[in-house]
Amino acid sequence: MGFLLCEPKSATCTHLSELSDISHDRVNRFLQRENVAPKDLFLEAAARLILEGGTLFVDDTVRDKPYTHDTALVGHDDSGKHHKTVKGINLITLYYTDMKGYNLPVNVRICDPADGKTQNDYFVDRLKQVLA
């Protein structure tokens, strides 16, 4: 579930199955059957990753919501795509790329404007969780 929620390019059971060497039908059945958290899915995928010598990197993404009424999670954030401030939902995602080039999200957080935290604060929180 975590992979499918935060994969920025190809969030499909087929793409996850290609990365994990499991059939997409099996991934789909698993997601329908289980109540999984992102950590559960990462632990499942971790057995297929080389967890030494890889790279951990952060991505902040703004999911544009220009027509959404103001809600708790919709804020105004800088967008690299639009090169200006846009209305949307801001996500901070940590990705791990192993020595074979497999890339999986390992932690994701929706930034809540009410928290009063900066993107750097969210990044440090995510990093501490991954390294714990």
The tens place of each residue's pLDDT in the chain, 132 residues long, gives 455 555 555 567 777 777 777 887 887 787 777 776 656 656 766 777 788 889 988 888 888 888 888 787 788 877 778 788 888 888 888 888 889 888 887 888 888 888 888 888 888 888 887 777
What are 2-34's pLDDT values in tens digits?
555 555 555 677 777 777 778 878 877 877 777
pLDDT (0 to 100) of residue 86: 84
As a whole number of angstroms, the distance between CA 116 and CA 101 comes to 36
pLDDT (0 to 100) of residue 16: 76
pLDDT (0 to 100) of residue 70: 76
Integer Rg of the chain from CA: 16
Are the beta carbons of 107 and 93 closer than 8 angstroms?
yes
Token readout for 27 is 């991934």
Are the beta carbons of 104 and 116 closer than 8 angstroms?
no
Token readout for 71 is 């809600």
